[in-house]
Structure 1
Amino acid sequence: MKGLIQWYLVLSFLLLSLNFKVDCSLSSFSSNSSLEVFFISKNNLVGEIPSSICNLMSISILDLSNNKLSGTIPGCLASRGNKLQILNLNNNDFDGPFPKSLQNCHDLQVLNLGNNKINDTFPHWLGTLPPLQVLVLRSNYFHGQISPSEHESHFSALRILDVSHNEFSGFLPTTYFKSFEGMMNLSNVQTKSMEDFNFYYHFSVRVTVKGLDIELERILTLFTTIDMSSNKFQGKIPEIVGDLVSLQVLNFSHNSLTGHIPSSLGNLTALESLDLSTNKLVGQIPMQLIGLIFLEVLNLSQNQLVGLIPQGNQFNTFLNDSYRGNLGLCGFPVSKSCGKDEEQEPPESAFHEEGIYSCPLDWKFVMMGYGCGLVLGLSTGYIMLTIGKPEWLVRMVQRLGYKILRRLKSYN
């Protein structure tokens, strides 16, 4: 019986979608309090959300993303007693202030209001919603500082935070970073998708991952990201960010951040993408970042970093673009060489092969000597072989030639 009801709902949504594609409006919607999912994305809907939709008290998923809806977001969507778990209004033309009534949605897990024209300050009161895991406010007109109010919870379950491309200012929110327990330890979280509680709805969110904007069709509970890029943040990057050990993507680019890159970022062992580009960061690149063995994308360009670029592990794979605009950096892969005091010494094992011991030799001259010896030896050997005597000299030259060839191969 339950399966029949679910398929009936699926068919109803298909019919509703066809109807809205023709009408291009929500005005024809008639309320139905029995609906649990209202999913009409990518249908060229225009106009404002009608008040009749607010009668759907039993809705758990409301997805009106990728349309052309406008006006303010109705406060009645978040009336007391509703069961809303996912609200996705991404990529529309909503304006006005942030609907504070959303703090009444005590079951809310996902809130995506990205790519609209909402003009307001950061909704710190959402921190009181214990289940909230995904908060996307990117590409709006949010402004001011991101600072929590006293005596409030601070997003303890949050795993995806995207406030990029706004006008936030002030310092990075250290208090919130200390409270992001969902980004500190995910060892006990089962690997599943956000939408597993509803088999016919697939939630997606657009995030910047590894330098590219991509659409995540199925969000795993193990995916964690912070994107605060393209704002007006200033000050230092807090050391506490290094405690968010489950982070996979961290993006603080295109701000006015100063100070050094915290060495604590070396604790983010799950990190796959780190973007700190286009800031005012100074000092050297911390050697601790070599330990980030899963790091696939690194962008430190357009800062004021100096000194030797670390070598080893993933750092051997990054190209010059990762460091462009830092005139004080030297070493591989940039063209500027470091001074002798800053040059890295070759690994000790390189000096002990074939009985060669560590000594301050210029290996270019050593290799040139080998090359000359090889030419001389082969020439002499050819002459001796041609005249056929003396045999003892022929055998000696052959052994010497083979030995030189083996050593050359070992250094290639």
Structure 2
Amino acid sequence: MQAAAAAAAELPPALFTNASSLEQLVLKSNPGLTGRIPATLSDLRSLRVLSLSQNGFRGEIPPELGRLAALQQLDLSYNNLTGEIPEEIGGMESLSILDLSWNSLAGGLPAALGSLRMLEKADLSHNELAGPLPASMAGLGKLQYLLLQENPIGTAVPAAVVGSLRRLQVVGMSGCGLTGPIPRGAFAALASLAALSLDRNRLDGPIPASLAALPRLGRLNLSQNRLAGEIALPAEFVARLGRRLDVRGNDELCVGRGRYGGAQASYLGAPPCAAAGGGSGAAVGGTSSSPVESSAGAAATAGRGFRVYGIAGMFGGMVYHLLMLSCIPFYDTMF
């Protein structure tokens, strides 16, 4: 079902009371579709796909939606939703894709998220959600995409949770107010991790060289933090990632003399370290290069059922089909 663009209107609650056999409901890209999301949608017990993205819905997410045990995909992105994510969401035991991005949701993340054991993609980005991540999320063994950027998480890097999600391919935590060092070995078990974004936080300390041991890591953004010391990543790793490695905007980072080639040292954007006796790991010659431009926006394409995400400061084009069960990013088009 696709709603036509029209003047401001609301969904009448009675519309869904006699549609129990409906399996897919897609009402997207209708800015004039306003009001609250009807709680009567919970009567659609056969529903597998519910997409209400890019509309003008406001108010809270109805807790009654937690009764949709057969639901596999829920997309409420790009609305004006407020309030907290309801604990009842844990009743969606078949859910594989959850997209609540670009709303004004607030409060903490509910522990009930850990009940979504079929979840493969969680996009909660661009809201007002606070940390910490509930420990129950460590049980999401099928999760591949965790996108939390532009939320005031305000904790240390959630190593205990993220480090337990062995199937993760993409982690986006840009602009989350993360503090402290990047724990050594925090991501060591994530053999499938292809893209890690921790830019625009308040992380300090050195860059763990252990990140280079991740066999599939192809994009790493640590820019615009407070990281310090000599960049100790292996030259082979730096050469392989090229400009997909971004550590700019960390004024206390420096490059060891002779560690990298001239081109590599240039795009790392850090000055050479001080010579022996001049202070170990201290940068020489001022601060790093100008701040990297942030691409925090996300745009919906005109192509039916597709969206292009710009993951803050790192991911240029992650594309997924709204009705697909697995969301595979086209890494060749990212950045």
TM bin, normalised by shorter chain, reads 0.7 to 0.9
* Residues 236, 258 of structure 1: 8 Å contact kept: yes
Percent identical pairs in the alignment equals 27
Instruction: Indicate conservation of the 8 Å contact 2:10/2:35, yes or no.
Output: yes
SS of residue paired to 2:186: helix
Structure 1 CA distance for aligned equivalents of residues 246 and 163 of structure 2: 25
Q: Distance in 2 between matches of 1:318 and 1:283?
A: 15
How far off its partner does 1:269 sit?
Answer: 2.9
- Aligned pairs (5 A) from 1:275-286: 275-286=221-232
- CA gap 1:68/1:319 in 2 versus in 1, 3 angstroms: farther
Q: 1:165 corresponds to which letter in structure 2? A: E
Structure 1 residues 273-296: Cα deviation after superposition (integer angstroms, max 9, x where no partner): 211011111111123263362555
The two structures have a TM-score, normalised by structure 2, of 0.74
> Residue 70 of structure 1 aligns with which residue?
58
Aligned with residue 234 of structure 1, among 163, 175, 179: 179
Name the CA shift for 1:278/1:27 in 2 (closer, same or farther; >3 Å).
same
Offset from partner CA, 1:359-410 (integer Å, 9 cap, x none): xxxxxxxxxxxxxxxxxxxxxxxxxxxxxxxxxxxxxxxxxxxxxxxxxxxx
Distance in structure 1 (CA, Å) of the matches to 2:155 and 2:7 = 47
Q: After superposition, give the CA deviation of every residue in 1:62-119 in whole Å (9 maximum; x if it has no partner).
A: 000111110000011111x620111000110000111110101111111110110111
Bigger radius of gyration: 1
More helix by share: 1
Instruction: Note the 1:173-252 alignment, pairs <5 A.
Output: 173-183=158-168, 224-238=169-183, 239-252=185-198
* CA offset digits 1:140-193 (Å, max 9, x no partner): 1111322415xx75222111111111111121111113311213xxxxxxxxxx
Cα distance change of structure 1 residues 58 and 171 upon mapping to structure 2, 3 Å threshold: same
What is the CA–CA distance in structure 2 between the aligned matches of 1:50 and 1:129, rounded to whole Å? 23
Distance 1:158 1:138 in 2: 16
* Residue 297 of structure 1: aligned partner: 244
Counterpart selection for 2:141 from 142, 156, 161: 156
3-state SS in 2 of match to 1:120: strand
How far has the Cα of 1:266 moved from its partner?
0.5
Distance change (3 Å), C-alpha of 1:270 and 1:295: farther
The root-mean-square deviation of aligned C-alpha atoms, in Å, is 2.6
Residue in 2 that maps onto 1:263: 209
Distance 1:125 1:286, change over 3 A: farther
The two structures have a TM-score, normalised by structure 1, of 0.60
Aligned to 2:81: 94
SS at 2:65 equivalent? helix
Task: Structure 1: state its 5+ residue gaps.
Answer: 1-12, 184-223, 332-337, 342-412
1:28-65 C-alpha deviation (Å, 9 max, x unpaired): 76111111111111122111112322211110110001
Matched, 1:311 2:260: yes
Match of 2:71 among 84, 91, 100: 84
**How many angstroms apart in 2 are the aligned matches of 1:35 and 1:237?**
47
Compared with structure 1, are the counterparts of its residues 97 and 287 closer, same or farther at alpha carbon in structure 2 (3 Å cutoff)? closer
Counterparts of 1:373-388 in structure 2, within 5 Å, are none
Aligned residue pairs, count:
271
1:123 to 110, 122, 128: 110
- Judge conservation of contact 1:146–1:172 (CA < 8 Å) in 2: no
- What is aligned with 1:345? none
1:51 maps to which residue?
Answer: 39
- Offset at 1:245? 2.5
Whether the 8 Å contact between 1:141 and 1:166 is mirrored in structure 2 is: yes
Q: Is the 8 A contact 2:164 2:189 kept in 1?
A: no
Q: How big is the shift at 1:22? A: 5.7
- CA deviation after TM superposition for structure 1 residue 252, in Å: 0.5
